[in-house]
Structure 1
Amino acid sequence: MHQPGVAEGLGRDPGVERIRQRGERVVSAQGLECAGELQNGGLGRWPASRRTSIKVNLFAVVSRFVSTLSAPAAPCAASRPGRRGRPGSSWLDGLIVSLLNGLCYGLLLFMLSAGLTLIFSMMGIINFAHASFYMLGAYFAYTVAGTLARVPVLAGAAFWIALFLAPVLVGLAGAAIERFALRRLRRRGHVAELLFTFALAYVVVELVQLAWGRSAVPYRVPAALAEPLFSLGGHAFPAYRLLIAAVAGSMLAALWWGFKRTRTGLVVQAAISHPAMAQALGHDVPRVFMLVFGAGCLLAGMAGAIGGSIFVTDPGMAQALGPIVFVITVVGGLGSLPGAFLASLLIGLLQTLAVGSALSLAGAASWLGATPATAQALAAWPLSRIAPVLPYLLMVAVLVWRPRGLMGVRET
């Protein structure tokens, strides 16, 4: 849906009419700097002098991009009664809020990809069913919260209890799958494990549809978390996004500290790298594998318990985010937890800014000096339309120029 830009929000202002006629940048009477519409069909070419053409084109591209980000705001800071507008304040506020939204989405992706990275780095298993455990976390949290909400004493804390209990249930399910299925397949190699997890993903989807139906369930965050934490230029920032940031940051710190600074983490690393020696020293290596796989599934369940309440909880949620998880793992570097964190933030920002933009490839092409005919041909491809493809294009680029990922370590 088209959101009004800064110039459109000023209506029939004479300054805007002069912009439309001459293609200039002016400052309105209220002190707000505005960019006018393009003269030749919105292709990004301004009839300005050679001395100022590059600056004007850049301003036009940026202003049109950020005027459509995130939630709608007041069309112009100068239009607010009793307040003097600041140059560019409207699109700058929208840009800041969109960056915050992108960071929160990236942190949620990290919560989901951290478990897969942990399982692969420790066990070498590419778990195709990892997103299915994310879905189970959302459905388990919905069921637990709905059950506890009927108890008057626990109704107020039902969501928080479900947020703790659902990941534990998912982790126990993952540990049971490793103990009774994957452990028997380990001697047959990673191909058998991959095929098993591939089939397991479809089994989980069918079981979810049998238990909860094919439609979305009404799983939502409490009203207190849905309230705006703060507002910036008319853009509200809900409190639940702070919850995402807190949980993701705690998860990263706990994983790093647990595997680098504790005896348990050292035992796990020894069991993974030298299983025979760890077994000879008295450590139960199969039990370590079971705990690692269960911990990875627990992290996915935590992401589902939070993400399902924010987005939508339905049987298609695993398929929607599953491919992105593998993109993050490849881009960040297979088995690299810091790489997964960096790739999650990068992809979260990339998709959020692209989806919220009304820009098309025509504006970028004309700004780079393309002919009007070429720009007109690209006008039918808005950036929001190709946003789902951008993470995969990034993965292809990383595989071509840096095959081991952004922070992956080359195997010796």
Structure 2
Amino acid sequence: MSLMLLIEQVLNGLQLGVMLFLMASGLTLVFGVMGLINLAHGSLYMVGAFAAAWVAAATGSFLLALAAALAAAAAAGAIVEVVVIRRLYARDHLDQVLATFALILVFSEGTRWIFGSFPLYLNVPDYLAGPVTLPGGIEYPLYRLSLIGVGGLIACALYLLIARTRLGVQIRAGEADREMIAALGVDISKLYTVVFALGAALAGLAGALVGTIQSVQVGMGEPVLILAFVVIVIGGIGSIKGAFVGALLVGLTDTLGAFLLPQLFGAFMDVSSAAAVGSALASMLIYLLMAAVLFLRPRGLFGDTA
């Protein structure tokens, strides 16, 4: 096994981790502040990807595509919160699950009606295309490296927003005691709309950024949503720091497991069987990691912190 190839897989795991963080951070904000289980979060990821692909095809600008993804996902999130979600806060979690599952169907069929059933494609911009040479002579795609950097910057910005701004104080207070901040004059309905739109925008941005790596198609958000739920369970519900650490752990575990396990079993069986067995076990690793974390810390790694 080549050390350079291993380092490339570590970078791939970091890239997957920061993209999962964009999904999981919005999900953990919504659940932590509102106590809402939002299964439609993956649909907002899909909305961002389709908006980016459509704008990029129409204008040829990748930056405009990212702006469109943010705007479209945030707008969709705000509309959904006002029209549907606002009626679910006082309902139990089963009602929330059923209503947001229905939203998945609405978004899927609506997207198929607008864009058709065929996938769209979002190209990497020319200024981010090609490889870059890292120390040690490792060549790695510039775009994927940029995703790691962008994800890290967004994580820092989100932490500063939550920890150092007035809106962040209101969000943390709303998580701790929503009745008290409402009594102090904070418009709790407006706060919930802002939080939901912010979470939707982060999901839409993740969809747009990943849309250059895979095709943009209906239903693309659901597999990522499952991983995002694993992330927030590992990191701790309501914790941005937990979402970041959990996302990196899941990204690295998933990527390195898929890379190392087939090679490990290759010493005992033929290549095709080793690949099949290794891939099957690799898909289980993140759930074993989640089980181990919950056994040691039932509230997650940072479940008691912001």
Q: Same fold (TM over 0.5)?
A: yes
Q: CA deviation at 1:360?
A: 4.0
Q: Does 1:215 align with 2:101?
A: no
Q: Which residue in the other structure is 1:291 paired with? A: 194
Q: Does 1:384 align with 2:279?
A: yes
Q: CA deviation at 1:162?
A: 1.3
What's the RMSD between the two structures over aligned residues? 2.3
In 2, Cα distance between the equivalents of 1:242 and 1:144?
A: 24
Correspondence list, 1:371-410, <5 A: 380-382=273-275, 383-409=278-304
Match of 1:243 among 118, 127, 146: 146
**Residues 138 and 309, structure 1, Cα contact 8 Å, conserved in 2:** no
Q: Which residue in the other structure is 2:32 paired with? A: 121
Q: Which residue in the other structure is 2:109 paired with? A: 206
Structure with more contact order per residue of length (Cα contacts < 8 Å, sep ≥ 6): 2
Amino acid aligned to 1:406? L
Cα 1:92/1:381, change in 2 over 3 Å: closer
Q: Deviations over 1:314-345 (max 9, x none)?
A: 11311332211111111111222111111211
Q: Secondary structure at the match of 1:230?
A: strand
Correspondence list, 1:150-189, <5 A: 158-189=61-92
Unaligned runs of 5+ in 2: none
Amino acid aligned to 1:351? D
Q: Which residue in the other structure is 1:264 paired with? A: 167
Match of 1:148 among 56, 59, 76: 59
Q: Which residue in the other structure is 2:263 paired with? A: 359
Correspondence list, 1:309-328, <5 A: 309-328=212-231
- Give % identity: 40
Q: Which residue in the other structure is 1:94 paired with? A: 5
TM-score by length of 2: 0.90
Count the aligned residue pairs: 302
Q: CA deviation at 1:185?
A: 2.2
**Residues 208 and 315, structure 1, Cα contact 8 Å, conserved in 2:** yes
In 2, Cα distance between the equivalents of 1:310 and 1:344?
A: 19
In 2, Cα distance between the equivalents of 1:122 and 1:255?
A: 15
Match of 1:350 among 250, 253, 259: 253
Q: Does 1:336 align with 2:239?
A: yes
Return structure 1 stretches of 4+ with deviation > 4 angstroms: 231-235
Q: CA deviation at 1:215?
A: 2.4
Amino acid aligned to 1:180? V
Q: Secondary structure at the match of 2:215?
A: coil
Q: Which residue in the other structure is 1:105 paired with? A: 16
In 1, Cα distance between the equivalents of 2:4 and 2:266?
A: 25
Amino acid aligned to 2:130? E
**As a proportion of its length, which structure holds more helix?**
2
In 2, Cα distance between the equivalents of 1:160 and 1:319?
A: 25
Q: CA deviation at 1:272?
A: 3.8
Cα 1:320/1:270, change in 2 over 3 Å: closer
TM-score by length of 1: 0.68
In 1, Cα distance between the equivalents of 2:301 and 2:182?
A: 34
Cα 1:231/1:215, change in 2 over 3 Å: farther
Unaligned runs of 5+ in 1: 1-65, 67-90, 150-157, 364-374
